[in-house]
A = this chain, B = another copy of it.
Amino acid sequence: MTDAAWDNTDKHADHQKSGLRHSKIAVAQVGGPTAVINGSLYGFIKRIRQLEESAEIIGIHDGMSGLLENRMSAIKPEQPLEWLRAQPGSALGAGRKSLTAEDIETCVNGLRDRDIHALALAGGNGTMWACRQIELKARELGYELQVIGIPKTVDNDIMETDHTPGFPSAAKFVAHAVRDLGADLASMRSFEQVRVVETMGRNVGWLAAASGYFKQTVDDAPHLIYVPESRFDLEKMLADVACIQQRLGYCLIVVSEGLRDCHDRPISANGINNGKQNGQGLRALGGVGAYIAEEIGERLGVSCRYENLGMLQRCASLALSGQDQAEAEAVGCKAAELLLDGHTGEMVTIRRLQNTPYRWETGSAPFIKVAGMEREFDSACLGQGGLIAESYKTWLAPFIGDNQPYKQFSMD
């Protein structure tokens, strides 16, 4: 280590040759888990073992918390890890933690203490921002550190990648769940008329919109889809629900948890969110969907039920998308290759080469192009009456598969 600023190119070459840089490689899983986050970890470990057998792979516990508090353990090299490919939850432990400038320095010093010069973090937008800060801080402190980001979020809100591992399985879950709940409600319409289904998506509507995948006509469920990218108008919705319910006898509505009103304020279970927080953390007893269901029941005088698809969206093993699984693993492999090739400051990406038949490859993008940004869903892909654009269906098809809608009896 010298006092001089670290020269990116030269030192890379030196360390790659000496193998010093890659004697210890740390990896963490940040933020909420997905159904395939362990698949990326599997790909990462497998590829490191293949390419740099002597490397010690160090698992950081509980995401950013573990990085900040220097809680890490070596992953025993002899153990079989195939089980990671199909197991939801973050096997290393997840963690949500906003880092201050001081925290960032603490993280770098923690890595220095352990002589770790290579770091891979799997996470979303916030994590990519943290990756960039850690990389900059290390450079500022003259500590040689490679940082690579592995994209992961069911929200699908990361720039520069066609989509993020975790989203395809979540989308598959949501699309099937809403088709099934629609068939269930259709048959119950003689005593239950309206159902409000809430999906994940704090700021973006990719998941909520995926609920329209199996829908082919305005009569199929879902009949209305609301995403955070468009301002939500309660009165307009009530009028639409009344109209649909009158026409079909029932109405299924999908709402993204991050819905905002016409003043751009988030809507919570108690109507407009007044910012009140529970000191003990989140107790999600009902979000925006509960509020909307309550309004529909009271204002329209119909039986209205609220269904929160909940945490299963990010962990349901029965909805695991084979494509998602393959891509998550490939993204982990690519992160390993980038690190061992001396790269730093990049997030792995997925590039879509062709829709039908679907072809893809991994790539990478600099943190600067993804950190702090948010990739919105194009609400122009949402049509009237819950229909979604054919282009969005085609884009989703590799993740969900055959999109036959349910049928109805032909009776005399």
Contacts and interface: CB of A to CB of B under 8 A. Distances in A.
A319 interface: yes
Interface stretch (A10-18, A186-194, A353-361): A186-194
B176 A316 contact: yes
Contacts of A101: none
Contacts of A301: 280
B190 A88 contact: no
B281 A285 contact: no
Q: How many copies does the complex hold?
A: 2
Nearest to A296: B283
Contacts of A192: 281-282
Interface string A11-39: 00000000000000000010011000000
Interface string A75-96: 1100100010001111111111
Interface stretch (A200-208, A336-344, A404-412): A404-412
Nearest to A412: B74
Interface in A274-305: 278, 280-286, 290, 293-294, 297-298, 301-305
A177 interface: yes
A140 interface: no
A407 B85 CA distance: 11
Contacts of A286: 285-286, 290
A410 to B, nearest CB: 5
B179 A317 contact: yes
A87 B305 contact: no
A213 interface: no
Contacts of A304: 280, 283
A310 B311 contact: no
A168 to B, nearest CB: 14
A311 B181 contact: yes
A62 interface: yes
A308 interface: yes
A188 B409 contact: no
Given A76-B412, A308-B310, A411-B73, A315 B181 contact: yes
Contact of A303 (B176, B183, B280, B412): B280
A283 B291 CA distance: 11
A16 to B, nearest CB: 26
A7 interface: no
Given A280-B301, A310-B307, A311-B307, A65 B190 contact: yes
B285 A306 contact: yes
Contacts of A297: 278, 280, 283
A293 B303 contact: no
Given A33-B187, A280-B301, 7 more contacts: A29-B187, A74-B411, A75-B410, A79-B410, A91-B408, A283-B294, A307-B312
Interface of A: 29, 32-33, 59, 62-63, 65, 73-76, 79, 83, 87-96, 173, 176-177, 179-192, 195, 278, 280-286, 290, 293-294, 297-298, 301-308, 310-312, 314-319, 406-412
23 contacts: A33-B183, A33-B184, A33-B187, A59-B411, A62-B190, A75-B409, A75-B410, A89-B180, A89-B182, A89-B188, A90-B188, A94-B188, A94-B190, A95-B190, A95-B191, A177-B312, A181-B311, A191-B281, A280-B297, A280-B301, A284-B305, A286-B286, A318-B318
